Amino acid sequence: MTAPTDQHDSADLNRDRDLQAALRRLDETEQAARDRLFEFLRIESISTDPAYHHHCLEAAEWSAAQLRDIGFEASVRPTEGKPMVLAHWRPTDGEPKPHVLFYGHYDVQPADPLEEWDTPPFEPRLAEHPVHDEVITARGASDDKGQVMTFIEACRAYIETSGSLPVAVTVLLEGEEESASPSLGPFLAEAGDELKADIALVCDTNQWDGGTPAVTAFLRGLAFSEVTITGPARDLHSGLYGGPVRNPIEVLCGMLGELRAPNGRIAIPGFYDGVSEPSQEQRDEWQSLGFDEAGFLAEIGLVEPAGEDGYSLLEQLWARPTVEINGIHGGYTGVGTKTVIPSQASAKISFRLVPGQDPQQVITGFHQFIDQRLPRDARAHFNGEGGAPAVGFDMSSAPFQAAAQALQDEWDIAPVRLGCGASIPIVESFRNALGMDALLIGFALPDDRIHAPNEKYNLKSFVKGTRSWARILSAFAGMSDDA
């Protein structure tokens, strides 16, 4: 779209006026927004426990009603499991606008152990926090109801002040995020056309610290396999056969003990093919964060970083691939002793991948690694394999740059470009099913105790989260004008 400069300037002015109005509205109605969030938090929408099914339905209806209330066309769509909430706000002025898809989830984790909560998990309240001033405590406060409401409240403030949103918005709220999203794939396949937007905004991640926003820019990929080593045709008495018979547990241990070289490099053929070093700029940025490695390790009872030589802890987590043995099993594992040489032993292995690695090639390399070490009279069998490549967002893209500037405007500090060591399935789903990139912006904190007793969400995260989304929506509209 090309526009004469004066119209451009005038559009900019209008956009800024609308934004300032929305921000003022957010400040003035903060208490009402908080009340709405508390209403949402009182619904016990635990998706993993069938006893709470009707609470999940209630949460879906409640969110749809919220969206309808501010002018979205909202519906609760049945699935085989918990319903999806799908809502659209379409521009009324006929102007073409960027279209964003906002994603969040209305379901929460179970609250037990209940006795470890200081106050009941579904009775939200404001509490003083030793580090973060005021926090909202309740199950789901951070994961993900508080984060969902940052976005919906931004839309409400915009519509209530300007009668309109600066971009076209679709909202998708899922009710099974905490139970592995079984209905998401089928729903994306079925409703894909309705969901397709220019970019997805996923609000289920962290900021860097209480005063610093973040955009998650790297997600490691995953490849996984289960290897079973078979030796003798049946379990044997270790007295009557021990010595001349190769023990499959020992064979398996011998192999897995060689997965990593002493310097921490992974010894699988071709494993590092296509892997790039993090850029010096990126390394410097992460270095400058002053990440507390000792504190991170102390929290899990450890003292020193292990892993690959020559990389900081954050670099290892965000920009380097790894292999993990997630489970191993063989022989007798009950109480006491049983002197058996088992016929089989197996291990579940997974790889965290970085951009450039192909999950299938990694699995093929793992097969080679095992096969090369397989002694005579032992066989290897692989199953349960799969994976997804890593995601590295293009940080020079217009949406990334626009969102980063908007966050800086709100927080007075540039957002940190975080990595995330884990994959986020929704990002892959949007990529694979809808061919759509995502921006991962959230206001949670590592100490929010998600999935644990006394979950909290900083009040500041909530308040500035709503304001951040208002700014990002405005910035996206500007990005369109500049395009």
**Residues from 239 through 268 that contact its own copies (CB under 8 A):** 239-247, 249-250, 252-260
Q: Which is nearer to its own copies, 337 or 396 (CB)?
A: 337
d(CA 291, CA 285): 11
Among 12, 209, 308, 447, binds its own copies (CB under 8 A): 308
d(CA 267, CA 342): 27
333 belongs to the binding site for its own copies (CB under 8 A): yes
Place of tokens 């309705």: 194
| Nearest alpha-carbon partner for 378 in 210, 473, 252 | 252
Stretch that binds its own copies, among 9-17, 43-51, 58-66, 319-327 (CB under 8 A): 319-327
Q: Least distance from C-beta 479 to its own copies, angstroms?
A: 31
Sequence-separated (6 or more) residues with CB below 8 Å from residue 50 = none
Q: Which is nearer to its own copies, 147 or 468 (CB)?
A: 147
Q: Which is nearer to its own copies, 207 or 322 (CB)?
A: 322
Name the token pair of 293: 């490695």
22 contacts 162 by C-beta, under 8 angstroms = yes
Name the token pair of 189: 């396949």
Q: Least distance from C-beta 427 to its own copies, angstroms?
A: 13
Among 156, 320, 464, 467, binds its own copies (CB under 8 A): 320
Half-sphere exposure of 233 (CA within 13 A, CB side): 0
Q: Which is nearer to its own copies, 67 or 445 (CB)?
A: 445
Q: Least distance from C-beta 317 to its own copies, angstroms?
A: 6
28 contacts 50 by C-beta, under 8 angstroms = no
375 belongs to the binding site for its own copies (CB under 8 A): yes
d(CA 241, CA 215): 59
Residues within window 163-222 making contact with its own copies, judged by CB under 8 A:
220, 222
Q: What character string, x for contact with its own copies (CB under 8 A) and - otherwise, covers 383-422?
A: -x-----------------------------------xxx
Q: Which is nearer to its own copies, 130 or 262 (CB)?
A: 262
Pairing of strands 438-441, 199-202: parallel
What φ, ψ does residue 169 adopt, rounded to 5°?
-130, 130
d(CA 244, CA 242): 6
Stretch that binds its own copies, among 20-28, 272-280, 345-353, 463-471 (CB under 8 A): 345-353
d(CA 59, CA 41): 9
221 contacts 423 by C-beta, under 8 angstroms = yes
Place of tokens 């119209």: 7
Whether the link from the prior residue into 359 is cis, omega within 30° of 0, is no
Q: Which is nearer to its own copies, 280 or 383 (CB)?
A: 383
# of chain residues touching its own copies (CB under 8 A) = 76
Q: Which is nearer to its own copies, 123 or 377 (CB)?
A: 377
Q: Least distance from C-beta 267 to its own copies, angstroms?
A: 12
Stretch that binds its own copies, among 45-53, 197-205, 314-322, 406-414 (CB under 8 A): 314-322
Among 31, 288, 337, 396, binds its own copies (CB under 8 A): 337
